[in-house]
Amino acid sequence: MSKAIAGPEIERLIQLLARVPGLGPRSARRAALHLIKKKEQLFAPLSSAMAEALERVRICSTCGNVDTSDPCTICTDPRRDGATIIVVEDVSDLWALERAGAMNARYHVLGGTLSPLDGVGPDDLNIKGLVSRVAEGGVSEIILAVNATVEGQTTAHYITDQMAGMDVKVTRLAHGVPVGGELDYLDEGTLAAALKSRTAF
Amino acid sequence: MSKAIAGPEIERLIQLLARVPGLGPRSARRAALHLIKKKEQLFAPLSSAMAEALERVRICSTCGNVDTSDPCTICTDPRRDGATIIVVEDVSDLWALERAGAMNARYHVLGGTLSPLDGVGPDDLNIKGLVSRVAEGGVSEIILAVNATVEGQTTAHYITDQMAGMDVKVTRLAHGVPVGGELDYLDEGTLAAALKSRTAF
Ligand SMILES: [Zn+2]
Ligand SMILES: [Zn+2]
């Protein structure tokens, strides 16, 4: 707002809400007003949920997943197949694959893709951690579940090269992923099918 | 999410974010991940802004505006023209009119419109408070800045009837407001023009 008309604390809330993806300046004002109107039902619970999540959130030092424990729930789940690691660019892809529910494997979050033009090299991604996990043994397959973009495929090739000489099978998702598409936008059936018909890389 | 994979605090944050207008379940997940990634730059400031706004927000007992003080900043501002009261349905309309910046008056927030079909009668709105403010004296004009909907116009007629016999001029916004349109979606120029060419009701 151009003028401060609702008190500095509310103005600041609106300004910060406007920076949340999915909300803009107008949506932020509407969201703030809605929160104020639903003070007990939504505003108070959301405020405390935010404070708790902020305090407890951790990045898993093993796989890069977001959780409230480190190592994360998936890394410590004994029912998960530790011999298979699904490599993803981002936590949002991990979440999408979990919603598809097709695999009971573990994950490795790279934190992006190789992109020389943007100055993103191998050391900027969590690739060394992946090599270490495979080097420790017990991993028989790595599924490269990266986006079907140029950067994603470049990253997949680089990781495959790093695995040369190690006793691990490297596979990638089947061509159910649309070219140029992003995992997080796919429906769960397509993701599940792409996982099932993964091919040797 | 169908499965809890990111810890109960993060799941709860996502569920509550999904109830914020402008965000849905998918946007809520993206928003939560973005907050976690921008922990220091956005998540922490937003969390504390939320807690502070939650603690300090008040509904003005004079006009129904949302602020961190009661009476609100507008009601206590000596530079405001207390002789003119702009009557609006919702605080979002007050904010829209303030952004238009065309008037330096005070406000009265009704909290909705008369809607017999939805069981909303005069006692469900902040109409008695408006009558009291006018009865106290010092108010020479009431501008009915309600939406150009059937309910808005019904409400305007009802308020005009309540003002019968009181020494106050009742006006309404000029027909710059599109029929069926809502104030909060209008551009500032249209709102300013509608205020300037308001007509006798
Ligand atoms: Zn982990
Ligand atoms: Zn007030």
Which residue in the set A13, A31, A66 is minimally distant from B33, CB to CB?
A: A66
Distance (angstroms) between ligand 1 centre and the Cα of A69 equals 9
Contacts of B9 in chain A (CB under 8 A): 49, 52-53, 56-57, 68
Q: Domains along chain A?
A: 79-172 (3.40.1360.10)
Helices (H), ranges, A101-181: 127-135, 150-162
Cβ distance A61 to B18 under 8 Å? no
With cut-offs at 50, 70 and 90, classify the pLDDT of residue A197.
Answer: low
Chains A & B: contacts with CB separation below 8 Å? 191
Ligand nearest to the Cα of B62, by number: 2
* Residue A109: per-residue pLDDT: 97
Burial of B118 (0-12, 13-18, 19+ CB in 10 A): exposed
Tell me whether residues A9 and B68 touch, CB distance under 8 A: yes
- Using CA of residue B194, residue B21, residue B125, residue B60, what is the dihedral sign? negative
pLDDT at B109 > cutoff 70: yes
Residues A82-139: tens digit of each pLDDT: 899 999 999 999 988 888 887 889 999 999 999 989 999 999 999 999 999 999 999 9
Which residue in the set B2, B8, B99 is minimally distant from A2, CB to CB?
A: B99
Distances, alpha carbon B82 to alpha carbons A3, B71, B107, B156, in Å: 19, 14, 9, 20
Which residue in the set A17, A29, A66 is minimally distant from B92, CB to CB?
A: A29
* Residue A2: per-residue pLDDT: 42
pLDDT at A3 > cutoff 60: no
pLDDT at B2 > cutoff 60: no
CA dihedral angle for residue A51, residue A55, residue A60, residue A65, rounded to 10 degrees = 10
Distance (angstroms) between ligand 2 centre and the Cα of A19 equals 29
Ligand nearest to the Cα of B58, by number: 2
For residue A38, give the chain B residue with the closest CA.
B20
Residues with CB under 5 A from ligand 2 (ion): B 60, 62-63, 65, 71-72, 75
* Residue B1: per-residue pLDDT: 39
Angle between helices A150-162 and A127-135 (to 10 degrees): 30
Whole-complex ipTM? 0.80
Q: Determine the Cα–Cα distance for residues B33 and A89; give it in Å rounded to an integer.
A: 13
Which residue in the set B5, B19, B91 is minimally distant from A42, CB to CB?
A: B19
pLDDT at A32 > cutoff 50: yes
The whole-model pTM stands at 0.80
Tell me whether residues B92 and A30 touch, CB distance under 8 A: yes
Distance (angstroms) between ligand 2 centre and the Cα of B141 equals 17
Q: Determine the Cα–Cα distance for residues B60 and B70; give it in Å rounded to an integer.
A: 5
Q: Determine the Cα–Cα distance for residues B200 and A3; give it in Å rounded to an integer.
A: 29
Bridge partners (DSSP) listed for residue B81: B105
Averaged pLDDT score across all residues of chain B = 89
